[in-house]
Structure formats: C-alpha cells, structure tokens
Structure 1
Amino acid sequence: MATSTREVQAPAAPTSIQLPGIVLGIGLGGFVDGILLHQLLQWHHMLTSTDDDRIGVKYYSPNTVSGLEMNTVWDGIFHAICWVAVLLGLAILYKRVTRNRRRVWASRVLWGWVLAGWGLFNIVEGILDHQILGIHHVHGGPHQFWWDMGFLLLGVILLVGGYLLQRSGQPFDPDATDIPEGAGRRV
C-alpha cells in the first residue's frame, strides 16, 4: 500500500502594498516639507535654529551668504534622502506588484498608506528635529512652539486619515484577475 506524504499548503496571502506606500509617503512628505517650508516660504532650513539647539551644532545664520550656503547644502542632503526614499518606495512597489500595475495607482489602499507615511514623516521629523535636537522649527519666532505643535497635529491627522482611507479601500491582490467595473462573477 503506497502512502503519499504531500504537505498541504495554505494559499499565499496577497502581497502587501503597505510598506511601499509608507516609504513613498515618507519621501513625498519630506519633499513637501523641503520645497514648501525650506524653499518657497523660506520659514526654515535644516540648521536655522542651531544657535539654541540641544546638541551643539555650529550656527549658520540664514541671513549671511556663508550661512545660507551651509543651510542649502544640508537642505540638499535632506532632499537627497527624500529622493532615495521615493525611489526605494517605487522599487518595492514595482517588485511586489507584478500584474495589474495600473490598478494599484487608483487604489485607496496605496494612497492611504502614502498619506500615513507622510504623517509618519511629520511626526518623526517634528519630534526629532524640532523638539529633541532643536536644529530648526517650522516657523521660528515667538510662536514657534505652536507652529511645531501644528506640524505634529498635521502629522497625526495625515497618519489617522491615511489609515482610515486604506481601510475603506478594497485590498489589492496583484494576482487577481482584473474584472471590469460593474461586471459580476458568474459561477
């Protein structure tokens, strides 16, 4: 009598787009911060509060040419890190989603995780750079504490809103067959 020792395997879970969405959100959130607050509004640069920071970094005044040059270099390093995060998020997404790639870009799940990643960026950057290190603040001056708290609150709103948005979407399974909108499955 012959016996078979085949193992029964459970079906594989769909590949998650949580990690690539969060990494993309971190990079894109950093770009929004750097482009809007550092460059367009010029409220701060990476080292604009080092005259009263908590770690002893040399002060580079944004009101002098040499100080602005050093702040611009550090802003560039910050943007390079954001760029790497976006490329990494795209690479992970490309590796995980091998079919139906168009569908993923319309997915609430992906954009929810992107918003959550942006919120995570704000929270980590706000706590680390604004509070712990003190190397810059959102908008220096007499009300900088409230600007910093608003930045953190925006981060929490983006994180929670992104989480809720991704939960309201249909889970993305890259191996599922594309079914046109409104078409039902026949058994």
Structure 2
Amino acid sequence: MATTTGEARAGTAQPASLQLPGIVLGVGLGGFVDGILLHQLLQWHHMLTSTNQDHIGVKYYNPKTVSGLEMNTVWDGIFHTVCWIAVLLGLAILYSRVTHSRRRVWTSRVLWGWVLVGWGLFNLVEGVLDHHILGIHHVYAGEGQVWWDIGFLVLGALLVAGGYLLQRSGRPFDPSAPTRREARRA
C-alpha cells in the first residue's frame, strides 16, 4: 500500500494479484446466477433445450418430456459442477495470494470489480458459444430469441465495463503487504 493510485498508474507496477482470483470467482458466480435463475427458477432453458435447431447435431432432448428433462437436468448438473469448481479454484487462488488482511480483501473494490468482469466474461463466452455458435440453447427460446441472446451479451459487456471501472476506482491492494497494525506488531 505504499503507492497511491496516481503513482500506480504512472508506471510502478500495481499489484494485479486480485485480478485472476476475482475473474475466476466471477466466472463461477456468474454461471451460478445463470443456472439458478434461468435454468431452475424461471425454467427458460436448460443446457440442451435447443438442440433440435443446433449447429452441431446434438441429439434433441425435449424438456417437456420426463426423459428429455432428465437428460437436460444431468447436463445442468455438469454445468453447475464446472461453476462450483471455478468458485473453489477462485477462492483457492485468492486464499493463496492474500497473506495479510484477509478480512479487508472482501471490501475491496478491486476484488469486486474483477468479480464483475469475470461474470461479464462468462456471459460473453457462454452467450457467443452456446447461443450463437453451437446453438444448443437460447436465453429464452421462441419468437424473438435472438433479442434475448443479444441482451445477454449486452449485459455481459456492461458487467465487464462496470467491473473494470469499479476495480480502477478502488485503492491498489497489495494482498501480501501487512497492514500498519500488523507492521507495528512485527
């Protein structure tokens, strides 16, 4: 914490150690929001609900049938497993990098900005890949589905931009530097 925001931007290296764990956490948490809200609560789609119109030839599992819903639920579970692993990995990286002031990191704009960037990146990658390139599902299938898919991408871009601005507005956070109180004790 020896540098000020101006000095960090003027050329001295700003600690970037919250960037990777924040982004990885954001990817996992963004995936959970998608899976819990859109797959489970609203039931707008599951992982394979548009494979009758996909671009790669995946077998169609109609979510309106018991066997189709079972297969979509299995793939939703695989999706949630990947999200869970991303959250655990993000927490592990964060824990390994933050050696002092662990409580303080959770109030850091830098960390939460990078989490929003990760969530936005999740939306952008998942939206382009699953909705547009593969076509295995859409945000809300049916008439106007392209607008729902585009809205998902716009939300992702806004999350990336907002998260980037939030982390830039935060104080540089060096997770390995002791606080003044910890330095006095040593």
Same fold by TM (over 0.5)? yes
Q: RMSD in angstroms over aligned alpha carbons?
A: 1.5
Q: Distance in 2 between matches of 1:22 and 1:79?
A: 17
The answer to whether residue 142 in structure 2 is matched with residue 145 in structure 1 is: no
- 2:30 is the alignment partner of 1:29: yes
> Are 1:109 and 2:110 matched, yes or no?
yes
Report the AA paired with residue 29 of structure 1: G
Aligned to 1:62: 63
CA apart distance, 1:177: 3.6
- Cα deviation for residue 12 of structure 1 reads 8.7
Contact 1:14–1:175 under 8 Å retained in 2: no
Match of 1:86, as an amino acid? Answer: V
Runs of 4 or more above 6 Å deviation: none
Q: Does 1:164 align with 2:165?
A: yes
- Partner Cα separation in structure 1 for residue 13 and residue 151 of structure 2: 42
Of Structure 1 and Structure 2, the greater helix share is in 2
Report the CA distance shift for 1:12/1:128 in structure 2 as closer, same or farther (over 3 A): closer
Tell me, yes or no, if structure 1 residue 100 matches structure 2 residue 97.
no
| Alignment partners' CA distance in 2, 1:91 and 1:177 | 20
Residue-pair matches, total: 170
Distance 2:102 2:73 in 1: 37
Can you list the C-alpha shifts for 1:107-150, whole angstroms capped at 9, x where unaligned?
Answer: 00000000000000000000000000000000001110000000
Partners of 2:31 and 2:91 lie apart in 1 by: 15
Structure 2, gaps ≥5 residues long: 1-11, 182-186
> 1:163/1:15 Cα in 2 relative to 1: closer, same or farther (>3 Å)?
closer
> Structure 2-normalised TM-score?
0.88
Amino acid at match of 1:127: V
Contact 2:22/2:114 (CA < 8 Å) preserved in 1?
Answer: yes
Percent identical residues: 78
Letter aligned with residue 69 of structure 2:
L
Cα contact 1:15–1:96 (8 A) shared by 2? no
The question of 1:52 aligning with 2:64 is answered no
Instruction: Please tell me the residue identity of whatever aligns with 1:88.
Output: L
Match of 1:128 in 2: 129
CA distance in 2, matches of 1:162, 1:57: 35
Structure whose alpha-carbon radius of gyration is higher: 1
Q: Does the 8 Å CA contact 1:25/1:115 hold for their aligned counterparts?
A: yes
Structure 1 unaligned blocks of 5 or more: 1-10, 181-187
Whole-angstrom distance in 1 between the partners of 2:40 and 2:54: 22
Instruction: Note closer, same or farther for the CA distance 1:123–1:15 as it changes in structure 2 (3 Å cut).
Output: closer
